[in-house]
Amino acid sequence: MSYETVLLEQSEPGIWLLTVNRPKSLNALAPQVLDDIAAATRAVAADAGARCLLVTGAGERAFIAGADIAAMSAMPVLEGRDFALKGHATLRAFELAPFPVIALVNGFALGGGCELAMMADMIIASEKAKFGQPEIKLGVIPGAGG
Strand order across the 6-12 sheet: 6-12, 15-20, 52-57, 101-105, 122-125
Active site annotation includes 95? no
DSSP 54-117: EEEESSSSEEE-SB-HHHHHT--HHHHHHHHHHHHHHHHHHHH-SS-EEEEE-SEEETHHHHHH
- Of 9, 60, 127, 135, which residue is the catalytic one? 135
Active site annotation includes 12? no
- Of 60, 95, 115, 127, which residue is the catalytic one? 115
Neighbours of 10 (CB within 10 A): 13
Closest to 62 (Cα-Cα) out of 136, 117, 102, 9: 117
Q: Which residues are part of the catalytic machinery? A: 115, 135
